[in-house]
Structure 1
Amino acid sequence: MFEAAEIKRLIEQGMACEFVEIQGDDGVHFTGIVVSAEFDGKPKVRQHQAVYATLGKFMGNEIHALQLQTYTPAKWAEVRSDLGF
């Protein structure tokens, strides 16, 4: 069983982030929001790959699924209130 807090820690350790929120109750399926300037100019697939890279061997093993929403800081400023943050 993996903890959402550990996923958050690994992401924050692996890349510069303005905001990270990870949720998941069953220990293998998680959802998350990651905001990073590193996403500027990258398509969503590359943004998600950058996040998955911070999790290394845990992705697909201990972490069965991680459904992500990724945002640049500028986009996050536009949508955060709509998402309740």
Structure 2
Amino acid sequence: MDTTPELIHGYLAAGLECTHLEVDGDGRHFTALIVSPAFAGKRLIARHQIVYAALGDRMREEIHALSMKTLTPDEYQG
């Protein structure tokens, strides 16, 4: 089964509390805007690790490239 933006959206929504989530892509390369309170007080690398943990093995097996913008709800509003 091909990976779709909708599948990645579902994986992230199931594994991470998100107040806003957008995923786009072409089946191989994806972009995501992820807004989560889990990112509060975290540096960029820690935020990405949270996303990778939510995606688990799918990052290696299904998703070939994911460019992400990770924001807290306050950062997203500002």
Q: Into which bin does the TM-score normalised by the smaller protein fall?
A: over 0.9
Measured against aligned partners, the alpha-carbon deviations of 1:27-79 in whole angstroms (never above 9, x if no partner) come to: 1210010000010000011101101111111103210010000000000001x
Would you identify which runs of 4 or more consecutive aligned residues in structure 1 move more than 4 Å? Answer: none
Match of 1:58 in 2: 58
Match of 1:28 in 2: 28
With 55-64 and 30-39 compared, the bigger mean Cα shift is at 55-64
Structure 2 unmatched runs, 5+: none
TM-score (norm 2): 0.94
Equivalenced residues, count: 77
Seq. identity, %: 40
Task: Quote the RMSD (CA, aligned, Å).
Answer: 0.8
